[in-house]
Structure 1
Amino acid sequence: MKTGRYGKPPRSGKFLIIVLVLLCAVLAPANFLSASETASPEVHQSPAPGNGAKEEWKPPSTPEGIAQRIEDIQKEMDLYLKQREEIQTDDGVESEALRRLTVALGAVQNVYSRYNSALENLGRARDEAAEASLNEGKSLIKESPPYNLSFYENVRNQFEGVDQRLKSVLSSVRLAEGSLESLRRQVAQLEGRVAELRQEGHTPEGKTITKELQLREAEADLETARVTIFLQNTNLEAYRVRRTFLEAQKKILENDLAGVKENLHFDEADRNSRMEAIAQQITKTREGIAALQAEREKLRSALTRAQGELSSARNDQQRLVARAGVSEREAWLRHNQAGLEQAEQELTVLDENRKIWEVRYGLIQGTVKTQEIWDYRSSVSSRIKDLENMFQVQQRTLASLQADILAAQKELEEAKANNAVAARMQKRIEALDKTVQTTNATVALLLGLFNNYNRFHEELTNQIDAVRIAEQVTRFGRDRFLAFWNISLWSGEGFDVTIAKLVLAIVLFGAAFFLSGRLTAFLGRTLLKRFGLDASARTATQQILFYVFMASFILSALDLVGIPLTAFAFLGGALAIGIGFGAQNFFNNLISGFILMFSKPIRPDDTIEIDGLFATVEEIGSRSTRVKTFDNIDVLMPNSYFLNNKIINWTLTDQKIRLRINVGVAYGSDVREVEKLLLKAADDHSRVLGKPEPYVVFREFGPNALEFSLFFWVDMTNASTVKVASDLRFRLVALFEDKNITVALPQMDVHLNATEPIEVFMRRPAREASPQQQEEN
């Protein structure tokens, strides 16, 4: 073919190609360019010109017809692919249109395959329904009563399995019904699009390859949407068929379960068999843990070797391979750790299941006491919440593993050219996949335990409901209880204090205490904070308001229950004596607390020293102050102690404190070098303040060493004095070793001044005399 300028085909050649493509499209088999001249069962085509009838469109309804339609679409796609080079143009418009058309035709094939599977699924659902109809209304239990707990458990499992399937089917029905309306709207839009493109194609200037490809793409999208409607309707019909027979089966199993429960009895052989099976599983799991621990040691050794290979790598290729090897070993070690955790979790699950089964057998046997049932239910409720939290942890673990797998797959794509690296990355992905499987197994274990606990909790609740509360009350008799409740404790002119009134007053006192605390806390957060008071002043004001509110609420409560203050007149003398003697320390600490709050010798978050104990002030209360030591131990100190004893406040006016490190070096060391190293250690530490600057003092010539002191400042708000001093000592050891400076050790020189040799004698130790010899002497 002749080419024009810059190698482009002349216009006549390009036009000839377009004509050939159009001829191929016209002569192509049916369904090539206009295979979707159809509509869905519920969406009808607009009548063709000159024809007023509406034609309903349906897809093939048999597996053979669907297979033929898929084959026709494949032939059409093959024909387009053969003409791909002829359709391509310089600007790439026809090439892009052909690519989009190919994708649309592939979507048509896919939806037909799904439709075929949906038809098969509908057939299976009908077969299941027909089989279930043969046993409609009949019990599924063939055994005769009585029944043991294992048999009851099997029937319960069948019932819950059918119930879960029914819930899944009902959810699928709702989803399918909701999607049909949006699909119908989509079909209407695509029909409008196809009609618009066909109208454009009727004009002379509209007949181009691009327009034909766009029209065929729109027709393919329309066919996909229409088949999808049939697909959803078929699935919906299958769901409804399954829903009908599952509801019937659930009702049968529900009746069976009630009958088994009524005829449930204790079977010792069944209990022993179950306990023995659990014991065997525990033994097997422990053996598996030992094997996993041995394998872990091997994996650790392999990881150490891989890290050594990475350290000794000499070029980039070796480093890449070694790094991939380290990642692979780490992944396998992680898989081993997940296996160990799964095995240890399995031991826990087995042990808890054993306890659950023992109590359940005890409930059937009637050996579990009522109070024990209440205690069991409380602990089971707490355990169920713990398992829910554990599920969340496992979900986060799975999400992390999936992220690691995606990252590893991305690295694998980038390293495909490097076979050695790719092989190790592939093994790493394999290890991560197995770790996901192990984690899923752990989740399955926890889920089984969770279901057992829920079932156990239900049985405990039913057992508790069976115990009548009235039977417990009648142990003493209703009349006796009411008589005790209305006993008069003391009475006087115009009042009578009974146990009922006293109990009500105590309850109101507790409510007053709670409301006073909440109200003062609210005022502290809002009103008092607006006045610009600091924390100590707000705390003191809150304490005063708390006592005022408490007194008001108590007086109101006494008036509400009808107990006047004169009822407590006989307690006045005893109360006065108690205040004078027993409450002396109370008021001493109370007043000391207010003094601390207003004078502020100590404040919250201050670092103080009490008798050699370093702590941080947490809260200044009305009677005591709570401090937390650096070992995270809370200590309650009476408020009067801070006013009567010597307290060191390290951060009263400033958070900066000066620290000192003493060090002694051997005689003969370069003292200036020692000074430089001490200052260098201080300057290198990020927590040592630059101002005031650190400095070194050569204290003296000690008996064993040249003694130096390093003085430096730290800010207590962001540094720990103990940690900073420790870091500097570590640093000094390293610096002294680099400069061959020796830290001196205690030593003693002994000088003997003798003009003549010293005589040394060796004697036998004198034997201890016997008691008889001592008596003779």
Structure 2
Amino acid sequence: AIAEEKKQIESNDKNIQTITEKLKTLETAISKSIEEENEETAKKLGVSLLDLKSRTDKLQQIHALYQRQLSEIKRQERLKLQIEEIKKATEQYKLIIKKKPPYNLSFLDTYLDLQKEAILKKQTAEMAKQHAWNALEDARSKLREADQKVLSLKKGVVLPEKEWSIKMALLEKELAEAQLGYHQILFKNAEYELILADHKLKQIRKIVNWIVQNLRYDPQDLDSQLKRLNKSIEERRDKIATLQSELFKLERALIRTQQKGKRANGEQAAIEAEAAIKVAKLKLEATKDRIERYESEIDLLIQQKEIWKRRYSLLKNNPDYKTLRSWRQEVIEAIDNIRSIIEVQQNRQYDIQLKIEDVQQKLLSDSLSPKLRRYLNEQHTALRKFAEDNFYYLSMLNATNQLYLRLLDELDKERKSKPIREKIATIISIIKDFWSFQIIEIDNQYITIGKIIIAILIFVIGLLFANKATSWLHKRLLSHLHWSTSAIKIVEKLSYYSIVLIVVILALRIVNIPLTAFTFLGGALAIGVGFGAQKLINNFISGFIIMLEQPIKVGDLIEIDDTIGIVEDIGVRCTRIRNFSGLDILVPNSYFLENNVTNWTHGDYEVRAQINVGVAYGSNVQEVKRLLLQAVDEHKEILKYPSPFVLFNDFGDNALIFDIYFWIVMKKIMDRKRIQSEVRFRIYDLFNQANITIAFPQRDVHLDTTKPIQCQILKEKNNLKKEN
């Protein structure tokens, strides 16, 4: 490190020597350039006098940049010395503190303010370094551009008229090089500034940590701070009393000014009266605002007193973890509140500044009368005072906010230092408080969050038990008693709802929640029934009636509104029916008691089916009857009893109509349609073998041929138009 430092010193010495020589050379060049600033030299070089002066300006700019480089190199040496000094001082930071331990909070706050200042300086140094880097990059870019310009001018044959342009381009390049060198030194100095700021911050942090380790409860310091704050509170209360007496006078003065304004004659008098009223209102408003501000300041001072008490309480009483947590929550809420007030006051300060600028613009006018100018000056003074008072209030808000932040930091450190056992005990205590939180009192009994949670758990477990119990009951009934599916469903649902009701009552009794707690709920339910729940209750009651009377059962084939389906489930609100397409249709239970429903399988599964057949006129009707009965008798799924029979139904327009009736067992929706389809296939085969024709619709057309038939061919109108 020492060797590197020596190299750096030697490098700086060389730079200083080099820059000094360049400065001497530039001074000579500048003197010569100034002497050549005449018409004779300009003609000789083939340029204007302005070009010669421009050359001198560039030389002076280069000279100034090297002079600044020299100053920055010297500043760099001073920064290095400061860094070395602060490094040594940081190692012996305890010697910097003149006061010996123990320390009090006031002493700590002094160094906390220095620490805050050091943090801001470091942030400024970081921004300065970034700015220096950006400037350095710009200087490099300009040097590249200047170098490219020189190269482009030197390409090809250098004519006499280009010599001046090349000389000026070389000067611009030299200027760019001087700028680059200057910004390189600036960037290096910015780095040293940041290192210095960082070392200062580290030093102050070490001092702060040392003071914190040796903090002690100091009743004299606490008493001194409280006395100071009490004195400030009393001063503001005295000011409020004085301002309140002035407020009455200002209100009377405003009334008198307004009355004078009403009696003003002429445009100028009206303008002056309006200005006087504004001044009076502003003074009144300012006085009211100062009273409100003093009251707010008293509140802030009271908060500061409480902050000091709690800060010293942390040192003296060692509060438990729960108290620390409670204080921390209060501090966070107070900080949020103060920050919102600061935002409002900043906006207010901006509005006041706009009003001040408006009055200043009016005062610039030369056409103002002496009286109007006086009023505007008074208005300007009042607004300035207004702004000063508001600025002071803002500074007091920031000071209080800073105290809260320090208290918050001290609370967090104290909480971290607490043993884990105490933290766990506090968490358990918080959970207990939440568990026993009282929501409402009914019949001298409190309903707590804990009781509600237990009741919900019992209810959920009861529902699971009800599902398991009814499932077990379903299997037992199905395997041992051989009851019908519908009867088992009824017993299953009644058992389920009975268990649920018992669970609800049991849950309420276990947690000691009185049934009177649901009085309001019962009243609300009654109102709901009266206004909109009639259908729900109607369907609920209808469901139990259907289960008891069993007009329909699970597995029945029913027909409603031209829809045929099998009953899959009967619930307390609706019944689920699966139709021919496999779709589930939900029908309200009340529908079955209020409308006609066809139950194809209510008593048994035997259903009569019918097939209609039309044969051609001239067919052997007895043979038709025999073949129809044969087709039915051959089908195995058609019942022999009741026996099938055939009816000669009608003499139709185109056929002799026969109906054959037979009985089948229909357990599924498609059974009847399937059997009817199979019988029709067999009838067709038998009729075909017996040469019996199944009739189809036909018409006989008779023509009157006693007169010749007149025929005429006509073209459509559209075709005629196209041809035309």
TM-score grouping bracket, smaller chain normalisation: 0.3 to 0.5
| TM-score, with structure 2 as normaliser | 0.47
| TM-score, with structure 1 as normaliser | 0.45
Larger radius of gyration: 2
